[in-house]
Amino acid sequence: MEAPSKVIHALYTDDDILMAAVKKVKAAKHQIEEVYTPFPVHGLDKAMGLAPTRLAITAFLYGCVGLTVSVVMMNYIMIEDWPQDIGGKPSFSYIENMPAFVPIMFELTVFFAAHLMVITFYLRSRMWPFKKAENPDVRTTDDHFLMEIALNNNEAELTALLEETGAVEINIVEIEEEQH
């Protein structure tokens, strides 16, 4: 097990002040580990320098899987396995009956995209059942914003910078590194 490392927690009470603080800290070349907010803050990911999400790409791929499953399923069930003459429209081929299948194709595309995207999000975020919460301060679920920055023997300099950015509280915390 590694020795505990130190991080600094800076608490803010306003999202605009937090955004300005993140930009100042990044401009000063400090490593922001994480920012905890009670609600999504528009532009925070870009200000922190995070890579754009690829969740939309996976949603498209999952939708394609759903569309493929619906086409194969309907072709097998309604054309090959149990063809029926419904309202004088015999099931000779899938293409002739496709207009009637469009709602099912749409629904399964949305169903697969939505459900698999949620599962992917939870797995990617490591949010599985019975996982211990990682929130370092309960006030960030209500009305405070917390910026967590790694310390590298620059405690005084970083504390002065954070006070200058408008932090209402600054704490130095020792954390245990997780083994993944």
Higher pLDDT, 88 or 163: 163
- CA-CA distance, 31 to 169, in Å (whole number)? 19
Same domain, 120 and 59: yes
* CA angle 114–116–118, rounded 5-degree value: 70
128 pLDDT above the threshold of 80: yes
User: Do residues 25 and 165 touch, judged by C-beta distance below 8 A?
Assistant: yes
Alpha carbon distances (Å) from 95 to 92, 99, 116, 153: 9, 8, 28, 69
Provide the number of structural domains found in the chain.
Answer: 2
- CA-CA distance, 39 to 23, in Å (whole number)? 19
Q: Which of the residue ranges 25-34, 42-51, 76-85, 165-174 would you say has the lowest mean pLDDT?
A: 76-85
Same domain, 29 and 86: no
Per-residue pLDDT, averaged over 38-62, amounts to 92
DSSP at 75? I
pLDDT of res. 82: 84
Confirm whether 135 is domain-assigned.
Answer: no
As beta bridge partners, residue 148 has 9, 34
pLDDT tier for residue 141 given thresholds of 50, 70 and 90: confident
What is the signed CA dihedral for 24, 27, 32, 37, rounded to 10 degrees?
Answer: 40
The counts of H helices and E strands in the chain are 5, 4
Q: Average pLDDT over the chain, rounded to whole? A: 88
pLDDT of res. 57: 94
- CA-CA distance, 68 to 71, in Å (whole number)? 5
Residue type, 159: T
Confirm whether 49 is domain-assigned.
Answer: no
Per-residue pLDDT, averaged over 130-157, amounts to 88
Higher pLDDT, 170 or 4: 170
Confirm whether 168 is domain-assigned.
Answer: yes
Q: What count of residues does the chain have? A: 180
Confirm whether 78 is domain-assigned.
Answer: yes
Distance of CA 177 to the CA centre of its chain: 22
This prediction has a pTM of 0.70
pLDDT tier for residue 1 given thresholds of 50, 70 and 90: very low
Owning domain of residue 149: 5-38+143-175
DSSP at 97? H
113 pLDDT above the threshold of 50: yes
What are the φ and ψ backbone dihedral angles of 32, each rounded to 5 degrees? -85, 120
Confirm whether 119 is domain-assigned.
Answer: yes
4 pLDDT above the threshold of 60: no
